Amino acid sequence: MIFLYHKIAMEKYSRQRELIYHSLETRKDHPTAEELYLDLKEKMPEIGIATVYRNLSDLCQKGKIIKIKSKYGPDRFDGNLMPHIHFQCEQCNNIVDIELKSEEKEKIDNDLLAVLNKTDAILTTSEILLIGICKQCQNHGMN
């Protein structure tokens, strides 16, 4: 009898990575790396900004979080992996989630695929960031 041993790359446990991941999973505000660092520093005073950046990059590469490339200011991060669209206010820079019903997601997916068919490319992922002026900024006359 032959036993096959598979080398499995085990991810080394990191208390810092776990804290960053858990924080993003529970947040709805799409923080920047610096905002996340300042919040986490209260829970873990020894954490460094470089550790936060390194772990955010690692979590993004592994598909555990989403990096939102912000048009206004630094990148933001999101722990919500469910299909949704982001809206960013060009006045206050706030980013919010726009949740989609399954039929809305299906329609958008079909529309995107129809557009993509014109390029003979294969779609692997998509990110939608809508930009405008939020209701709060409209009401406060910031525009």
Q: Which amino acid is at 4?
A: L
What secondary structure letter does DSSP report for 117?
G
**Which range is least confidently modeled, 1-15, 59-73, 93-107?**
1-15
- State the DSSP H helix or E strand holding residue 50, giving kind and residue range, or none if neither: helix 49-61
Q: Are residues 35 and 88 in the same domain?
A: no
Q: Which amino acid is at 84?
A: H
Q: Are residues 108 and 72 in the same domain?
A: no
What pLDDT sits at residue 48? 95
Partner residues linked to 87 by β-bridges:
96, 130
The pLDDT tens digits of the residues spanning 55-90 come to 999 999 999 999 998 877 899 999 998 888 999 999
The two three-digit tokens of residue 107, written as one number: 């329609």
Greatest alpha-carbon span in the chain: 77
Q: Are residues 71 and 87 in the same domain?
A: no
Q: Are residues 117 and 96 in the same domain?
A: yes
- Mean pLDDT over 81-106 rounds to 89
Please say if the pLDDT value at position 1 is more than 50: no
Please say if the pLDDT value at position 4 is more than 50: no
Domain that holds residue 36: 1-79
